[in-house]
Amino acid sequence: MNDYSVIVRPLVTEQGMHFANVRSAYSFEVNQNANKIQIRNAVEKVYGVKVDKVRTCNRKGKARRRGRHVGTTRSWKKAVVYLKNDYHIDLF
């Protein structure tokens, strides 16, 4: 798995931007098979920053209905990446 297939997309939300400004923590949707070391290496290579720590969680898909048919949204993996001091990522 190469570094560009590990990160699916950055999660740009109001709460995420607050954490980026206050704690220097950025959220990403990542490949479900990626581990913390692969996520750290991918973020450092793609964005040119130094990563302090990585936290991950698996998000389960929610049940949704369309008429009488029941399905689920897809499950995905979220990674919160904390950067070292004096580093930031411009996501805008």
What domains can you pick out in the chain, each with its CATH number? 3-83 (3.30.70.330)
The pTM (predicted TM-score) of the whole model is 0.91
User: What is the pLDDT, as a whole number, of residue 1?
Assistant: 85
pLDDT per position as a tens digit, 32-59: 999 999 999 999 999 999 999 999 999 9
Condensed to tens digits (0 to 9), the pLDDT of residues 50-83 reads 999 999 999 999 999 999 999 999 999 999 999 9
DSSP character at residue 54: E
The whole-angstrom separation of Cα 83 and Cα 25 is 6
Q: How far apart are alpha carbons 31 and 6 in whole angstroms?
A: 5
Encode burial over 21-42: b for 16+ CB neighbours within 10 A, e otherwise. eeebbbbbebbeebeeebbbeb
Q: Is the dihedral of CA 85, 38, 15, 48 positive or negative?
A: positive
